A = this chain, B = another copy of it.
Amino acid sequence: MDVIEFAPTKEQYAWTFGGVDPILRIKPGTLMRLWTEDAFSGRLRSPSDRPGEALDMREVNPQTGPFYVEGAEPGDTLAIHFVDLEPARDWAASATIPFFGGLSTTERTALLHDPLPDLTWIYQVDREREVVVFEALHGDLRLDLPLEPMLGTVGVAPAGREVRTSLVPDMFGGNMDTPEMRAGATCYLGVNVEGALFSVGDGHYRQGEGEACGTAVEGAMNVTLIVELIKGKAPLWPRIEQDEHYVVVGSARPLEDAWRASQVGMIDWLRELYGLDRLDAYQLLTQISEAPLANVVDANYSAVTKVAKRLLPKGRAYGGMHRYLREQARI
């Protein structure tokens, strides 16, 4: 297996999906050890940092990539298998950012309120106990929260000649912010341009579903992944396969449309896997769907539809790609 290690310099960060020249060319089957900076570009380091001043909103969510995958053509499917997500620092940060977040007025949910206070929380990582430590800014509550690393942002160059900021999730993936994107998962993305041009970033040491305030426990991450290419079969919306679950992520506003997109995406997947009639798949999904929200923040919301494999007949998604990659990862 080809192995590539890559950590971008600050000048090499990508801030968009599409619109950036590839930083590396790789062959399908390559294992990559990547480093990703945190979503704040490392600018929040102390509870005294004021996000409204410290952040430059044009330079958040730096991406590691994009990578050109040889042979990838529009209509193909990129499979990115996450072998390992390892926090690269002993601390992480979270914040409230003015006019940003699910429970705040924003540029689009435009109301007449003043912004909420902009505050920074710093979390210490305790690797031994596998926790991050929440410390209240007011009062003395401290809580150990399990370390559950995930990647907020995984995506390819968009279709239709578009270039999108790394803050946005959509059909091309992007800033989906779902805890389902964790070690052991395989993400399937439809390829829109030659070489696919995928990138990753926005590591979270943990995150709740919905990501209410808009920022998780944000930290630099060592990401180990394997890239594979499937000819054709591009899904409309990003799919994730885990050992135990099939997952589809829809991104849209209002939130019911994100959910609808993910549900219809799963109905399509169930039909591909089992030859089900559309209304039978609708009925079955109604009784077995899990629906843990991903993010309800700003530009686009992401909703997850998830089904447990144990409830279903044996399936072989993409010719058994996930199992194959799991085995490759163990080598």
Contact = CB atoms under 8 A, between A and B. Distances in A.
A62 to B, nearest CB: 13
Contacts of A291: 208-210, 292-293
A8 to B, nearest CB: 17
Interface stretch (A28-36, A83-91, A213-221, A239-247): A213-221
B161 A162 contact: no
Contacts of A19: 19, 161, 163
A10 to B, nearest CB: 16
A264 B275 CA distance: 35
Contacts of A127: none
Nearest to A274: B141
Interface of A: 15-16, 18-19, 58, 94, 96, 102-105, 107-114, 116-117, 119, 121, 134, 136-139, 141, 143, 145-146, 159-165, 171, 206-217, 236, 250, 252-257, 259-261, 263-265, 267, 274-280, 282-293, 296, 301, 303, 305, 311-313
21 contacts: A16-B160, A94-B283, A94-B286, A102-B256, A105-B111, A109-B257, A110-B261, A113-B113, A121-B283, A137-B283, A139-B280, A145-B288, A208-B288, A208-B291, A212-B285, A214-B286, A253-B253, A253-B254, A256-B301, A260-B296, A290-B292
